[in-house]
Amino acid sequence: MRNAVILLWMTVVAPLSFGAQSIFDPSQNIWTIGNGWIRAVFQLSPDGYFLTRQISDLQSGDQWTPSPNRPTSPVRLQAGTDVFDVQRPFLLLDQYTQTVNPSGLRQYIVLQDLNSVAQITVILEVYDNQPVLRYSLRYRNLTASPAYVNWINMLPWTFDDAGQSYAAFRVNQWSVDSTPGDFEPLQTVLDPSGTPVEVDSGAGGQQCGWLALRDANMRGLFAGWEFDGRVKTTVRQVGSPGYVQFSSTVLDLNHPVPPVGDFQTPYAFLGLFHGDWDEAGYRTQRFSEAVLAKPAPDPKTFPYVSWDSWAYEDQIDEQTLMRNADVAASVGVELFIVDLGWARAIGDWYEDPAKFPDGLSAVSAYVHSLGMKFGLHFALTEADPASPVLQANPDWTSTESDGYFGASSLCLSNQPTRDWLIQQGIRIIDQYNVDWILQDGQNMVKQCTKTTHTHDPNDSNYANAVDGLNAVVSAIQAARPNVNWENCENGGSMMTFNMVKSYVTSITNDASGSLASRQAVYGATYPFPPRFAERYMPGSDGLDLYATGSYMFGGNWVLMNSLVDLTPDQVGFLAQQIGVYKSQRADIAEAKVYHILPPAADGTDAIQSYNPATDNATAVITRANSDGPGYIFRPQGLVPDQQYVVWFANDPSIYLQTGSQLMQSGVRVQLPTPYSSDIVHIQHQ
């Protein structure tokens, strides 16, 4: 019966205009949701099963339909022994829509289980000009006893493989272990025998929280999940009977739901693309910036040029910081960050009076007087065992401790801990007039199985993500909305699409040098907008065109030099390079990223942006320890018939060519010695 209605719903699907909308056919219980780019069709079948019927790319004509022998549904959740999925029949209780910002529509479909043990609300969202379906489920416990949600699937999609071969694409995130391949892009051809390709994401996981899939005809899907805890995601192809199947589960989930209580799954999204992995990344990034991401402070002056005090590690004091602030302001630094070492101890969040006899607020005032913003390091998930908070409340620690600079780890989903930490964050901001929080620590989502805490002991992955970290950050941000936050966990080890909603940037590599910086940007800018690929430049990099060129593309450029030790020539060079960075940052931030050639210790690498709004391109070409005095750069994405002026940051040559000429024949970038770089600017006439 389920498949018998396929021809029927195909005849009643209505066309969609380019604005986000949902059309409901009450005679067939069919919802057609779209915006002129994506169209998704769902049905509550006559026998009560809630089914996905089709997801279509209206721009390319690509179709994604269920396998005839493998029906699929966005409902995939288990509470206790009750499984709610494609096999579970429902009654339709209600359906309605509401408009959402920016320029979107949310469809609610309220279903009741025939056994009256649960109510499931399917939540579907589309946004203007975005080929993306965003979605969530809300579970209501209709029984008289608490229920425990112990399994959800945030990618509950199974599609007919159409007899095609498939490749999956994912990107590693930062690891503090000696694991190779930080931010390494990984492409894997799916094995038709069903072997899954895995993504281990979330705080402390191996990969970013993103996955893309395409077939041999460049028909593609991309997906992201909005959760900071650990998630196991897979995609597999089963050649017989012929389907591709996604799955994405929150690990160690055991969330209690009281009678008549609700639990909502983390949002996830599924998007359409047609083309290469750069196109998958670009569509993801545009959706992220339009719908999910915390707005940038000022698109004209962000990403920032920053200075961070870790050049001195924790041996900082009032005079050292003020002397560096003078030089920082003179070279064009916009954000001045005081790193670890300012407080009496980790978790004792008051300035060290021996280091700051006039108070940390005096340093903040001085930084502001120089025209810079003031940032402060805050390791909110950690506290020294000797700190007053743990002396008074030793049970506030989590069962897992990461040993961050000798501190113990806190359990943020324990309500008294959370309440204290929120109060501390607000006080720090107010007391020291903070513009920017550098959130740091190690593994921001802790494991905790204590029975003395307010969370369920078997639910710490979810609880410490949602009721812990997210609750603390959102409460402080709601109280002090003008303060911007930077995501850091000793590096970029929580690269998720929930992260982008709370932070305006994220560290990628952690002060690991020029090559690692370029490798981080190359990988991170597949799923994430360039501003979320922040880099820390250690003093050990030196100051030359190779070093500064390695930080020209991406998010905040964070200097970790001892600025007062620079020579006048070095100060002048740094100021000039900062000016170059500022001149191109806004154009790159809104651009499509083309990953031309990956960085390697013995090679030449190239990364390019193309901004369709300005019809301009920028590329950074870097030669490491490779042979050859130059590189033929062939840009991508240009308008073939458009005339472009090509010029360089370091080479005086200027060219006038069409987009077609440039993309086919390229231009020669002079890289006369190993460890050199140049920037190619391509501007329409």
Boundaries of domain holding 257? 3-292
**How many angstroms separate the first and last alpha carbons of the chain?**
61
Please give the backbone phi and psi of residue 642, each rounded to the nearest 5 degrees, phi first. -75, 140
Please classify residue 360 by burial: count the beta carbons closer than 10 Å to its beta carbon, then call 0-12 exposed, 13-18 middle and 19+ buried.
buried
| Tokens read off for 213 | 């899939």
- For residues 322 and 95, give the distance between their C-alpha atoms in angstroms, rounded to a whole number: 60
| Tokens read off for 92 | 């339709």
Please give the backbone phi and psi of residue 118, each rounded to the nearest 5 degrees, phi first. -155, 155
Helices and strands (H and E) in the chain: how many = 13, 43
Based on the fold, state whether residues 580 and 646 are members of the same structural domain.
Answer: no
- Which among 270, 292, 314 is the end of a domain? 292
SS3 category, 169 = strand
- For residues 649 and 374, give the distance between their C-alpha atoms in angstroms, rounded to a whole number: 31
Indicate the pairing of strand 185-189 with strand 255-257.
unpaired
Q: List the CATH number of the domain containing 505.
A: 3.20.20.70
Indicate the pairing of strand 373-378 with strand 335-338.
parallel
Residue 299 resides in a domain: no
Based on the fold, state whether residues 117 and 164 are members of the same structural domain.
Answer: yes
- Which among 266, 292, 318 is the end of a domain? 292
Q: List the CATH number of the domain containing 132.
A: 2.70.98.60
| Residue 359 neighbours by CB under 8 Å, 6+ apart | 351
Based on the fold, state whether residues 231 and 146 are members of the same structural domain.
Answer: yes
Residue 122 Cα distances to 90, 93, 136, 255, 433, angstroms: 12, 12, 6, 19, 43
Indicate the pairing of strand 436-439 with strand 484-487.
parallel
Residue 575 resides in a domain: yes
Based on the fold, state whether residues 59 and 90 are members of the same structural domain.
Answer: yes
Please classify residue 383 by burial: count the beta carbons closer than 10 Å to its beta carbon, then call 0-12 exposed, 13-18 middle and 19+ buried.
buried
Indicate the pairing of strand 50-57 with strand 90-100.
unpaired
Tell me, what's the pLDDT at 17?
Answer: 58
Residue 242 resides in a domain: yes
- For residues 685 and 415, give the distance between their C-alpha atoms in angstroms, rounded to a whole number: 60
Q: What is the DSSP string of 259-280?
A: TT-EEEPPPEEEEEEESSHHHH
Indicate the pairing of strand 630-633 with strand 654-658.
unpaired
Residue 154 Cα distances to 74, 118, 256, 467, angstroms: 8, 19, 19, 19
Q: Look at the block and give the residue holding tokens 């999609």.
A: 157
Residue 298 resides in a domain: no
Tell me, what's the pLDDT at 11?
Answer: 39
Domains in the chain, number: 3
Point out which residues pair with 124 in neighbouring strands.
Answer: 107, 135
Q: In terms of DSSP H, where are the helices of 346-467?
A: 360-369, 388-392, 415-432, 460-462
Q: Which of 50, 129, 21, 82 is nearest to 257 (CA)?
A: 82
| Residue 439 neighbours by CB under 8 Å, 6+ apart | 378, 379, 380, 473, 485, 486, 487, 488, 503
Based on the fold, state whether residues 584 and 598 are members of the same structural domain.
Answer: no
Amino acid letter for position 469? L
Query: How open is the CA angle 274-69-113, to the nearest 5 degrees?
Result: 100
Residue 496 resides in a domain: yes
Q: Look at the block and give the residue holding tokens 């040993």.
A: 403
Amino acid letter for position 186? L
DSSP state of 468: I
- For residues 599 and 520, give the distance between their C-alpha atoms in angstroms, rounded to a whole number: 9
Q: Which of 638, 579, 595, 596 is nearest to 614 (CA)?
A: 638
Amino acid letter for position 360? L
Query: What is the widest separation between alpha-carbon atoms in the chain?
Result: 80
Residue 75 resides in a domain: yes
Give me the average pLDDT of each 10-residue run along the chain (685 residues): 40 61 98 97 98 97 94 97 97 98 96 97 98 98 98 98 97 81 95 97 96 98 98 96 97 98 98 98 98 93 96 96 98 98 98 98 98 98 97 97 95 98 98 98 95 97 98 98 96 96 95 93 98 95 94 96 96 97 93 97 96 95 90 97 97 96 97 96 95
Based on the fold, state whether residues 352 and 495 are members of the same structural domain.
Answer: yes
Residue 57 resides in a domain: yes
Residue 522 resides in a domain: yes
Based on the fold, state whether residues 320 and 462 are members of the same structural domain.
Answer: yes
| Tokens read off for 648 | 């360089």
Based on the fold, state whether residues 542 and 515 are members of the same structural domain.
Answer: yes
| Residue 93 neighbours by CB under 8 Å, 6+ apart | 110, 111, 112, 119
- For residues 302 and 645, give the distance between their C-alpha atoms in angstroms, rounded to a whole number: 26
Q: List the CATH number of the domain containing 640.
A: 2.60.40.1180
Based on the fold, state whether residues 536 and 441 are members of the same structural domain.
Answer: yes
| Tokens read off for 368 | 């502001």
Tell me, what's the pLDDT at 473?
Answer: 98
- For residues 504 and 558, give the distance between their C-alpha atoms in angstroms, rounded to a whole number: 14
- Which among 268, 292, 316 is the end of a domain? 292
This prediction's pTM: 0.96
Q: Label each residue of 500-529 as H, E or C.
A: HHHCCEEECCCCCCHHHHHHHHHHHCCCCC
